[in-house]
Amino acid sequence: MKADDFIRSLEQYGAKSLRRPVLFLGEEEYWVQAGIVALKRLLFTAEEEKYNCLDQELKSVEPVSLTEWLGNPPFFSTNRLVILRGVEEMKANLESTFLRLLANPASGVYIVLTARHLDRRKKFTKELSALVEICECPVLKVYEARRWVQQEARKLGLQLSTEQVNQLLEAKGVSLWSLYNELIKLRTFLGGEQTVVSQEDWGSLLGETSVINVFALTDGIFEGKPGRALQQLTRMVEAGEPQIKILGLLGGEVRRLLMAWDVVQRKGGASLQTELG
């Protein structure tokens, strides 16, 4: 089953979808996090989650802890969610206890496992696969990521052109976690009012117009318009431009201006282009 199908089944059928422990298998972290969020929303109120959700790396778990978490019913609520990450890194001496508890967890205990990859030839993997619902979390191909971005943008009330979607993929790759964060950043940047995204706003967010923005910043400074310069600086920071990058670009621009001034003083304007390249 694909992870997005599992999440939809949770939304449609609720706890009836949780017949077995769930294994999120693959390298796309977005689906893992989205699935866990959906499970928490289904099982708990915000207050209940604090006391009834465990999130651990399997490589650091001991058998006694595993037995306590999976073999005993919830104490503070009717449900307990146990998230165990990194099945591929689990200690070998834990495997038999782990499989036994997975086969018969205590009533009210829901189990989520994660693994980036598993060797399907191993006996342990075969036995594990028979006990869990495997939710595949592969990294999407470009055309799949493009379709996903368009869908998520619409959910957030954003209208992106095909060109803007392609620019996002070129700048950030196909990691859905990274792409989703950029869409949320854009929604925040626009203040929840604007839905059609201008190319200027889009370029600022992606950092592709960094040099142009620095030109606008330095123009404001040298024209004696500090308010304009400060507004441009604020926009760049709020758009997610790293501050160290802004400083580097600004320093480079000032350096070129000083070089230009020096050349003009020494040789005149005719040699300016040759000196600065």
Residues of the chain above pLDDT 70, percent: 76
- pTM reported for the whole predicted model: 0.68
Is the pLDDT score of 269 beyond 60? no
Enter the tokens of residue 25: 């298998």
Residue 56 is given by DSSP the state: E
120 pLDDT more than 50: yes
Strand partners, 84: 56, 113
In a domain, 255, yes or no: yes
**Cα–Cα dist 221/229, whole Å:** 6
pLDDT the model gives residue 276: 46
Cβ atoms of 275 and 258 within 8 Å: the answer is: no
Same domain, 91 and 174: no
117-123, Cβ contacts within 8 angstroms, sequence gap of 24 or more: 117/25, 117/26, 117/27, 117/88, 118/25, 118/87, 118/88
Q: Looking at beta carbons, which pairs linking 8-13 to residues 24 or more positions away fall under 8 Å?
A: 10/35, 10/38, 10/39, 10/42, 11/38
Whether 249 is in a domain gets the answer yes
Length of the chain: 277
Helix axis angle, 142-155 relative to 176-190, nearest 10°?
Answer: 30
What pLDDT is recorded for position 160? 87
Phi, psi angle pair for 194, to nearest 5°: -80, 140
Q: In angstroms, how far is the first alpha carbon of the chain from the final one?
A: 57
Specify if 77 maps to a domain.
yes
Rounded percentage of the chain residues whose pLDDT exceeds 90: 40
Q: Can you give the pLDDT at residue 217? A: 67
Specify whether 118 is located in the same domain as 188: no
Mean pLDDT along residues 207-215:
54
Residue 38 belongs to some domain of the structure: yes
Which range (55-59, 111-115, 234-238) has the least confidence? 234-238
Domain of residue 64, CATH code? 3.40.50.300
Could you tell me if 38 and 153 lie in one domain? no
pLDDT in tens, 63-110: 999 999 999 999 888 999 999 999 999 988 899 999 999 999 999 999
Domain count across the chain: 3
How far is residue 179's CA from residue 166's CA, in Å, rounded to a whole number? Answer: 12
Residue 99 domain boundaries? 3-136
What's the whole-number mean pLDDT along residues 114-139?
Answer: 94
Instruction: Say yes or no: 23 and 114 in one domain.
Output: yes
Last residue within a domain, chosen from 166, 181, 206: 206
